[in-house]
Amino acid sequence: MRRLPRISGAPIRVRFSPGLRASQNRLATAAESHASRWPEIHAGTFVRSRHTIVDVALLADSRELTRILLHELFHYVWARLGNSARQSFEQVLLAERAARSRGELGWSSELRRQNVRLPLGRPWREYVCEAFCDTAAWHYSGILAHGEFTLAPRFRRHRAQWFASWFNARALRV
């Protein structure tokens, strides 16, 4: 397991709730009638209000809870990362695209990747953010194998090198 860099920034509230579901930028529980047809999710993060909601079912699986919480933590990191780092990570993804890579390191980035036609616009930016968060969760969780880790090892190595170059000597700003 790679060591997570030091974290700095204002506190983040984490709350647990059962049966999380989401539709676009809205989050609800399965108990709410309007949300019963929305897809299930593990967690949701609201960067501006600095809170994250996690499905209570993850408390039964510490490995998966770690992976999901790391993913959510890195949404805060992404928001504070700065354009040069974001663009640098985007270049990694563009190189993968040019090499016709397949797969991803999490469901959220895989889903968005499938919906991207051109590397520009909002769908592309959302994919880059989710790929960053999924990669961070893979990189720091210590989980070597998972059903959602479908990206080829050579591309995983490039992403791991990127994370090592950007965060080994820096604190994570949330």
Per-residue model confidence as pLDDT tens digits over 106-133:
999 999 999 898 888 999 999 999 999 9
- pTM of the entire predicted model: 0.92
What pLDDT sits at residue 73? 97
The answer to whether position 11 is within a domain reads yes
* Between residues 4 and 78, the one the model is more confident about: 78
Tokens of 172: 């994570």
What pLDDT sits at residue 30? 66
The answer to whether position 1 is within a domain reads no
Q: Tell me the average pLDDT across 151-161.
A: 97
Strands 7-8 and 20-23, by their bridges, are unpaired
Tokens of 3: 């060591």
Classify 60 as helix, strand or coil: helix
Per-residue model confidence as pLDDT tens digits over 59-78:
999 999 999 999 999 999 99
Residues 6+ apart with CB under 8 A from 142: 1, 2, 66
What pLDDT sits at residue 112? 93
Q: Tell me the average pLDDT across 41-66.
A: 95
Q: Tell me the average pLDDT across 137-164.
A: 96
Assign 47 a pLDDT band (cuts: 50, 70, 90). very high
- Predicted confidence (pLDDT) at residue 170 exceeds the cutoff of 80: no
Domain of 78 in residue numbering reads as 7-173
What percentage of the chain has pLDDT greater than the value 90? 74
- Predicted confidence (pLDDT) at residue 18 exceeds the cutoff of 60: yes
Query: Hey, what amino acid is at 144?
Result: L
Q: Tell me the average pLDDT across 19-39.
A: 73
CA distance 174 to 51: 12
Assign 19 a pLDDT band (cuts: 50, 70, 90). confident
What pLDDT sits at residue 113? 96
Assign 31 a pLDDT band (cuts: 50, 70, 90). low
Structural domains of the chain, count: 1
The answer to whether position 40 is within a domain reads yes
The answer to whether position 2 is within a domain reads no
